[in-house]
C-alpha cells in the first residue's frame, strides 16, 4: 500500500506509542490527540487506523485502564471509527461496551458524554448485532 503523505506511518507510530507500557499518561494523551487529528484531517487515516491490527485492541485496553482523559480520548477515537460499518463491528467485537458503561457511570460529565456518544455510534447497526 502506498503512503505518499506518510499517513500510514504516522498512524502506525501513534498506535505503537499507545501500545508501549512505558509511555506516560501525557504521552498517551498526546498520541490519542494526534491520532484523532489524523482521522479528522486526512481522508486515508480513517482506513489506516481501521486496517491496523492492533488499533481497536489498544484503544479498548486504554478505555479499560487509562486515566480519565485517556479513557475519554480513546472513547472518542473508537466512536469515530464506528462511521464505517466494518470498523463498527470490529469495535463492538473488541469488547468496548463494558468499559464504556464504566465510563458512563463515572462522575465526569465529559466522560459520560464521550461514553454515551460512542455507545450510540457502536449501536447503529440495528437489531442483527
- pLDDT tens digits for range 17-52: 999 888 899 999 999 999 999 988 887 887 888 889
Question: What pLDDT, in 10s, does the model give residues 108-123?
Answer: 999 999 999 999 999 9
Structure letter (DSSP) for residue 70 = H
Q: Which three cell numbers stand for residue 49?
A: 487506523
The pLDDT assigned to 121 comes to 94
Torsion 14-18-24-26 (CA) sign: positive
Fold of 7-124: 1.25.10
Q: What is the pTM of this model?
A: 0.87
Amino acid at each position: 500500500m502506498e503512503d505518499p503523505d506518510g499517513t500510514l506511518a504516522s498512524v502506525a507510530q501513534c498506535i505503537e506509542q499507545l501500545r508501549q507500557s512505558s509511555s506516560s499518561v501525557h504521552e498517551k494523551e498526546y498520541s490519542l490527540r494526534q491520532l484523532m487529528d489524523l482521522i479528522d484531517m486526512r481522508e486515508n487515516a480513517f482506513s489506516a487506523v481501521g486496517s491496523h491490527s492492533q488499533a481497536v485492541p489498544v484503544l479498548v485496553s486504554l478505555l479499560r485502564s487509562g486515566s480519565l482523559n485517556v479513557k475519554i480520548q480513546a472513547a472518542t477515537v473508537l466512536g469515530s471509527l464506528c462511521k464505517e460499518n466494518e470498523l463498527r463491528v470490529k469495535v463492538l467485537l473488541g469488547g468496548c461496551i463494558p468499559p464504556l458503561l464504566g465510563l458512563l457511570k463515572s462522575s465526569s460529565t465529559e466522560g459520560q458524554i464521550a461514553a454515551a456518544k460512542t455507545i450510540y455510534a457502536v449501536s447503529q447497526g440495528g437489531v442483527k448485532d
